[in-house]
Amino acid sequence: MRYQEILYSEWGQNFTQGQTLFEAETNHQHLIIFDNPRFGRVMALDGVIQTTEADEFVYHEMMVHVPMNMHLNPKHILIIGGGDGGILREVLKHHSVESVTQVEIDPVVIDICIEYFPNHSKGAFDDPRLNLVINDGAAFIANNTEHFNVIITDSTDPIGPGRVLFESEFYQGCASALSDDGILVTQNGVPFLQGDEVMSTYRRWKPFFSTRAFYLTPVPTYVGGAMAMGFASKSEITQPSLARLEERTEEIFDLKYYSPEVHLGAFGLPTFVQNLMVDE
């Protein structure tokens, strides 16, 4: 049996589908988890691959340690989405973190990933620093009055429940929720196939952020080339030196992808991606 990802109608990846461990229509999306000989357990939401045991470290380390190592003293963190727990696991590795608020719309994703992807969260959902909120991230941010040093939006693609997390209203709310030197990072699609997401995010960020950047990470099961991670701040954020990043990285245990060299290199963008970063 084979599992065919349906993100693109004209092309896509497919997996040998071993045992189906869980499958359900939740209140928000279709969720399936199955075994694959090469990637281990694989999760898809609404037909789109979300995470696998084999390559999750690439995405989660780069979504977290780039902003966390660029903020001077990240204490209060907001995660939007991230129901599999990988982002939360990596955030909690930073000694400076005093509180993490995670806003996930679908509690089934959390419960099922704790059961079937135990190494994603590794007990992170039991950490006393966590304030777990079950809600739509856009609704949360619209009513939020707290301030955060880093906001990480680990959402599905802008289809289904994730769509609102790519809208101007959400970005405006994130800007209000960030401290003056705060950093927003977003899952921003694969530019070779979803270049419109980079362009629209760049344009929608213009009224709210003075730093608007992207960095690239090649995640094997996010097909079509490297994935773009959006990076924004109300302040001018400059890249730390390699030596400074090496210092900050010393406290982060169990890294398998992130390194100071990879961090700096990720911001070197191909011309076709730079050409997407144009205002109207």
Active site residues: 154
CA distance 14 to 25: 21
3-class DSSP string for 228-257: EEEEEECCCCCCCCHHHHHHHHCCCCCCCC
CB of 110 to ligand SAM, least distance (A): 7
Q: Is 173 in the site for ligand SAM (CB under 6 A)?
A: no
Binding track over 153-172 against ligand SAM, x by CB under 6 A: -xxx----xx-xx-------
Binding piece for ligand SAM, criterion CB under 6 A, among 76-84, 228-236, 237-245, 262-270: 76-84
Residue 109 interacts with ligand SAM (CB under 6 A): yes or no: yes
Q: Is 55 in the site for ligand SAM (CB under 6 A)?
A: no
Q: Which of 80, 174, 213, 245 binds ligand SAM (CB under 6 A)?
A: 80
Count of residues that interact with ligand SAM, criterion CB under 6 A: 24
Within 202-261, the residues that bind ligand SAM by CB under 6 A are none
> Could you say whether residue 151 binds ligand SAM (CB under 6 A)?
no
Give residues in contact with ligand SAM (CB under 6 A): 50-51, 59, 80-84, 103-106, 109, 136-138, 154-156, 161-162, 164-165, 187
